Chain A
Amino acid sequence: MSLPPWISRRALIGLGAACAVLAVGPLLHDNLYLHNLLTLTFIGIAAALAWNWLGGYLGQVSFGHAAMFGLGGFVAARGEISLHLPMVFAWIFGGLVAGAYALLWGHPTLRLRGPYFSIATIGVGEATRLVGTYWDWLTGGSSGLSLPMHPNLKYTLYWYGLALAALALAASYALRRSSLGLSLLAIKSDVDAASDVGVGAVRLQDLVLFLSGAMMGVCGGFYASYFSYIEPGDMFGFDRSISWVLMGVIGGIGTIAGPALGAVIFVLLRQYLIASYPQLYLGLYGILLVLVILFEPLGLTGIALRLFHRVRPDLSVTGVAGED
């Protein structure tokens, strides 16, 4: 069976190898904390990539994606508690509802571009948080929801998380490298010009927003299962929305794997700094961001590309939306 032309064999092998190494990793060590931290990193990777579909590929920076994350989390939790759905089905259910919710506010809002869209998403995020805090029937109100605890569930979730992150990465690759990616790039560059040449801008933006929201919702469901307790203030929090923007900035907004790298740095570095330099971690974080934004707008991906060009100046590397 031949692969579509836009799929690179090297990328496929690379993803498969990375997944294989990470899948057998826990069998080689007994550090449960590292195990759990990697699980959290996987959720971070999947969510950051999902955010990047909208913020990076379409250039519509959202500060309100916690709305979908939270909604997906609570719907999945309710699905497990009240409807007794199996865990994975509950996540998918949460994801679909979150995707639909994203469309509900996103379809009209996506007409706005740039900072106007971003400001609108702040409003959506905050409004959803407030409504979520008062909708006791869904979220348990300010007391939150406790999910049933199953022995070893947290440990097992590592592999589910890995699969979710791999799925998000594969989807990122497909969205960027397929013909759809070219359309998204055209919309990002100039939405009117793209429409003029026959790109269905509204339909494609809605599609990307739905996919982004749905993946966020699945991540929220995963998060609920992982922590066994969720509360609206935390799930819908503005900090959470900001964290995905930061992951993108650190790793490289608009790149295929950049936000995944950003998520790895964000989750691991943050945990390390909080535990080791609690009074300074925000300052250090800020300095890191300032340095990245000032000197390498494409984040870690940009640094990697520069290094690669130095080693192999004869080869050109593609994969950066808007840059290649």
Chain B
Amino acid sequence: MRTSRVCLLFFVVLMAACKKSGPAPADSAPSGGTAAPAAGDSAGAIRIGATLPLTGAESRIGGFYKEGYDLAFAEAAQNGGIEVGGKKMKVELTLLDDTSTQATAASLADRLINSDKVSFLLGTYATNLVEAQSVVAEQNGIPYVNGGGAATAIYKRGYKWVFGLLAPVELLAESIMKWVDTQQQAGKLPKPATIALLWENTSHGKDFRKGVTDFATKTKNYTVVVDESFELSGKDFSALLGKVKAANADLFLADAHLPDYITMQRQYVTAGLCHKIQSYGARGSEKQAAEALGKKNVEYVLSAVWWSSQLAGKNPEAKKFVELFKSKNGGRSPEWYQALGYETARALFTAISQAGSTDREAVRAKLASLKIPSLLPGGELSFPAEFGQQVHAPFVVQQNLPDGSAPVIAPPEVALGQGIAPNPGCAK
């Protein structure tokens, strides 16, 4: 009996300690940790809700997106708020951790809308979470702007309250294939070339597969010899990589999220594989991957991403963002995750300003007709109705080099390097 009382006391003390160390109410500037609902003194402020995967499988990327959101809200706070109908209004972020799970992402969105009474929602990260969460936004008729869901399936549902800043993964695959095609035309790759194609079994992966296979069918210069899917957050890809090895293809193209990219590339290197062209879709240039795998093991990996800090040289909005991010983060360069997080929040702020009110329908209408200069490749942000309100900005293709850099190699108008094909590492 005494033991149970001691345990009960321990539990109560722990709860109390948690209460003290728990997140503070969010103010107009974002908190350093996960923000709790703002306290009652929010008169005159616009309350915006968001969830991100701050724990669980996608926690690393969720943290990057949080940096982007934080920066946008800090910037707005520094400017005294955002201008709405001729007066400045503060913006408050209520950010919750959706633990990288769909059901939690959906139910927390419900909480943000119906309990915390936020006026607008910023989306979470990863296609599967956005797919589930966007339904709640649509059901409740609240503008939902996300920079974390790229699959076209999200935008083909005819939702009117959902807006996406990530261009479709099909375009991503096409961007990689276009660069590969220029190398083939230049005689650096065999013609026809064979492709080993691995894709995660999600909407994201299906779009990637479609992009590659459509391009291969259209040009008739490529044959897909391995076409296999794998489960998200896999632990062992050795069987798949065994098939890839047996096929002896020229190109190895995979679509994977960051944790899967790191796991798969480790096993790829261990299996002694090497291809003339190697890509993991949007993954490849991350510093975290180079640190986890070793710089040498990610050499010449191609990636196509929604943004690169190298755009700062040619795009004034990108330049402004890079400088702002570096000034707040001790000179560290941002990656596309932070940029998309920032731009997502900025798009919503701009729409609210342009609407001149916090009326949801007015802001939704403004988002639908938005056309503003942007840090995204192409320099403009809009949510075309014909694509279900999903941005259709171009991608930038990068390639990891032995010196640790990953210059943009396509499209030509923003390229800072030529790119190298075939992979010289395979000859060793």
Contacts and interface: CB of A to CB of B under 8 A. Distances in A.
Contact of B101 (A143, A228, A234): A234
A142 B203 contact: yes
Nearest to B135: A229
A308 interface: no
Contacts of B22: 276-277
A233 B108 CA distance: 19
Interface stretch (A16-24, A280-288, A312-320): A280-288
A107 interface: no
B182 to A, nearest CB: 32
B203 A284 contact: no
Given A142-B206, A239-B101, A291 B7 contact: yes
A133 B18 contact: no
A8 interface: no
Nearest to B116: A33
B224 interface: no
A278 B206 contact: no
Contacts, number: 101
Interface string A3-39: 0000000000000000000000000000111101100
Chain A interface, >50% SS class = helix
Interface residues of B, number: 44
A275 B109 CA distance: 11
B2 to A, nearest CB: 11
Interface string A85-119: 00000000000000000000000000000000000
Interface of B: 3-4, 7-8, 11, 14-15, 18, 22, 34, 36, 54-55, 96-97, 99, 101-104, 106-108, 110-111, 113-115, 128, 131-132, 135, 138-139, 151, 153, 157, 201-203, 205-206, 231-232
A144 B111 CA distance: 23
A37 B113 CA distance: 13
11 contacts: A32-B115, A40-B107, A141-B201, A141-B206, A227-B103, A234-B132, A277-B22, A278-B99, A284-B18, A288-B11, A295-B3
Interface of A: 31-34, 36-37, 40, 130, 133-134, 141-144, 146, 149, 154, 227-229, 231, 233-234, 239, 271, 274-280, 284, 287-288, 291, 294-295
Contacts of B14: 284, 287
A294 B111 CA distance: 34
Contact of B55 (A31, A33, A134, A278): A278
Nearest to B157: A146
A149 B138 contact: yes
A234 B55 CA distance: 17
Contact of A33 (B97, B114, B139): B114
Nearest to A276: B22
Contacts of A288: 11
A143 B99 contact: no
Contacts of B231: 130, 133
A275 B110 CA distance: 12
Given A143-B131, A291-B7, 12 more contacts: A149-B138, A229-B132, A229-B135, A231-B128, A271-B107, A274-B96, A274-B97, A274-B104, A278-B34, A279-B55, A291-B8, A291-B11
Contacts of B96: 274-275, 278
A36 B131 contact: no
Contacts of A133: 201, 231
A134 B201 CA distance: 9
B357 to A, nearest CB: 23
Contacts of B132: 227, 229, 231, 234
Contacts of B128: 142, 231, 233
Contacts of B8: 291
Contacts of A141: 201, 206
A40 B55 CA distance: 23
B102 to A, nearest CB: 4
B202 A142 contact: yes
B108 A280 contact: no
Contacts of B110: 33, 36
Contact of B102 (A231, A274, A275, A287): A231
A278 B54 contact: yes
B320 to A, nearest CB: 32
Contact of B15 (A142, A274, A284): A284
Contacts of A33: 110-111, 113-115
B135 A146 contact: yes
B281 to A, nearest CB: 16
Contact of A154 (B7, B15, B139, B151): B139
User: 7 shortest A-B CB distances, which residue pairs?
Assistant: A278-B97, A33-B115, A33-B114, A32-B114, A234-B102, A143-B203, A229-B135
A234 B103 CA distance: 7
Contacts of B157: 146
Contacts of A37: 107
A274 B108 contact: yes
A31 B15 CA distance: 26
Contacts of A231: 102, 128, 131-132
Contacts of B4: 291, 295
Contact of B206 (A32, A143, A154, A280): A143
A275 B135 contact: no
Contacts of B232: 233
Contacts of B115: 31-34
A250 to B, nearest CB: 14
Contacts of A40: 107
A64 B141 CA distance: 36
A35 to B, nearest CB: 8
Contact of B131 (A34, A144, A277): A144
B12 to A, nearest CB: 11
Contacts of B103: 227, 234
A234 B202 CA distance: 12
